[in-house]
């Protein structure tokens, strides 16, 4: 076995990193996950995730966690309403009877990030995840990696896998290629107790999802199982808008005034998203790795998830890509046909490059048309076409 007597360090405890740890542990590998969060409950997890038959769900099945997923997913949370800036409904899955179920390739069940993370964490051996491990440097003085963390701890590993997201500290050790700005920035927010604090949007959601398009802008909203909702506004602007806007994103009044101007043609119902008290706002410029990215494989380091192929969220593939990365990398590292680690990692990376070139192209296409004048029309055409 290629991993015999090898210490594997996975940097990042998101869905990709945790899925990889679970899959490798099932094959007997020595794995640690180093996560910057101080504990598993320190940070509110983001919006709901729809897992896909050929990727996220497949990885969970191979990890032996399909039943746990079925016990925690949210039936009906995948139901979508597509609306215009006036909240007029043009496409409504709530009015349709769902016949899809597990085993159907078009069934994409939703789960909140928190419960998915818990499923994965609880599946790991005790002390697999080392919390409060914010990496500050990585060196290879001899035949092993030395990883230094902000808390002063230092660990060694034979193999390092970067699962540390968009601002990966591991990526520069694999490739100098940098992401490109997509032209769109997102402002993310979360509202607790949406029934009380955003009642009109809550009623429009019906426990599912909203995608609003108009005036070359978007607003997407997702209901969560704890009674809160997450929302994302998306619009075209410069890459350095965050600093040039002068907005204090901890000041909800400033953010509200910005929204009133930027989304001036949108109905007042959307103001609920910005008038609620104690809303945390996070601006996120949307970047994408070059679709033709390639690098030469190394025998002791690689990347998965956003660290490997950062892209905007407008195809719903991010977490699914990360979990499929985890599955394919675990298969390569434990496959008997490979006689050395470099060949195994190269096999995984080639699969990942090919997938990203296709899905990244689709994602950038969606990002472009959804933030164009014809966005609503094109999205409706996409949803009303029959799957082939």
* Pairing assessment for the beta strands 209-214 and 217-223 based on DSSP bridges: antiparallel
pLDDT digit string, tens, across residues 101-126: 787 777 889 999 999 999 999 999 99
Q: How confident is the model at residue 387 (pLDDT cuts 50, 70, 90)?
A: low
Q: What is the per-residue pLDDT for 388? A: 43
pTM of the model: 0.94
Query: Which tens digit of pLDDT belongs to each residue from 256-272?
Result: 999 999 999 999 999 99
Residues 206-243: tens digit of each pLDDT: 999 999 999 999 999 999 999 999 999 999 999 999 99
Cα dihedral 156, 18, 363, 221 sign: negative
pLDDT of residue 202: 97
Please name the residue ranges forming H helices in 27-129: 56-62, 66-72, 113-122
- For the chain, give the percent of residues with pLDDT over 70: 98
- 30 pLDDT tier (thresholds 50, 70, 90): very high
Helices of type H across the chain: 15-26, 56-62, 66-72, 113-122, 194-197, 199-205, 241-245, 252-262, 272-275, 306-309, 318-333, 341-370, 375-384
pLDDT in tens, 276-291: 878 889 999 999 999 9
- In the chain, the N- to C-terminal Cα span, in Å, equals 41
The pLDDT value given to residue 98: 67
Domains of the chain: residue spans and CATH:
7-48+113-178+290-365 (3.50.50.60), 180-288 (3.30.9.30)
CA distance 111 to 225: 9
Choice among 95-104, 136-145, 226-235 with the minimum mean pLDDT: 95-104
Query: What integer pLDDT is reported at residue 43 of this predicted model?
Result: 66
Is 50 annotated in some ligand binding site? yes
The secondary structure of 207-251, three-state, reads CCEEEEEECCEEEEEEECCCCCEEEEEEEECCCCHHHHHCCCCCC
Q: Place 45 in a pLDDT band, splitting at 50, 70 and 90.
A: low
User: What pLDDT was estimated at residue 101?
Assistant: 78
- Number of Cβ within 10 Å of residue 269's Cβ equals 17
Q: Is 43 annotated as a binding residue?
A: yes
Q: What percent of the chain has pLDDT over 90?
A: 87
pLDDT at residue 44 greater than cutoff 70:
no
């Amino acid at each position: 076995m290629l991993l015999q007597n090898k210490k594997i360090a996975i940097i990042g405890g998101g869905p990709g990193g945790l899925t990889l740890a679970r899959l490798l542990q099932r094959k007997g590998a020595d794995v640690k996950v180093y996560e910057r969060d101080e504990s598993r409950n320190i940070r509110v997890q983001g919006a709901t995730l729809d897992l896909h038959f050929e990727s996220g769900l497949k990885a969970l099945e191979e990890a032996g966690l399909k039943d746990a997923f079925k016990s925690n997913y949210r039936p009906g949370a995948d139901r979508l309403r597509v609306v215009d800036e006036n909240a007029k409904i043009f496409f409504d899955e709530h009015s349709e009877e769902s016949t899809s179920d597990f085993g159907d390739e078009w069934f994409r069940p939703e789960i909140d990030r928190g419960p998915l993370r818990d499923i994965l964490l609880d599946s790991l051996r005790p002390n697999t995840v080392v919390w409060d491990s914010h990496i500050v440097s990585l060196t290879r003085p001899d035949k092993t990696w030395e990883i230094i963390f902000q808390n002063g701890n230092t660990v060694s590993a034979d193999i390092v896998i970067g699962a540390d997201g968009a601002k990966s500290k591991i990526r520069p050790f694999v490739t100098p290629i940098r992401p490109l700005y997509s032209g769109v920035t997102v402002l993310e927010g979360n509202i607790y107790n949406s029934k009380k604090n955003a009642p009109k949007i809550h009623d429009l959601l019906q426990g599912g999802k909203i995608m609003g398009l108009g005036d070359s802008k978007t607003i997407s909203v997702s209901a969560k199982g704890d009674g809160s909702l997450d929302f994302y506004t998306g619009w075209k602007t410069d890459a350095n808008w965050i600093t040039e806007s002068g907005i204090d994103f901890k000041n909800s009044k400033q953010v509200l005034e910005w929204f009133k101007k930027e989304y001036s043609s949108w109905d007042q119902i959307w103001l609920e998203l910005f008038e609620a008290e104690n809303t945390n706002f996070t601006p996120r410029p949307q970047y994408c790795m070059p679709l033709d990215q390639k690098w030469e494989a190394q025998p002791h380091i690689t990347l998965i998830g956003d660290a490997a192929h950062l892209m905007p969220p407008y195809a719903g593939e991010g977490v699914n890509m990360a979990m499929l990365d985890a599955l394919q990398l675990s298969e390569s590292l434990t496959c008997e046909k490979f006689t050395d680690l470099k060949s195994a990692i190269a096999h995984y990376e080639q699969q990942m490059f090919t997938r990203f070139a296709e899905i990244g192209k689709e994602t950038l296409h969606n990002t472009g048309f959804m933030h164009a004048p014809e966005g609503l029309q094109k999205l409706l055409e996409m949803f009303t076409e029959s799957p082939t």
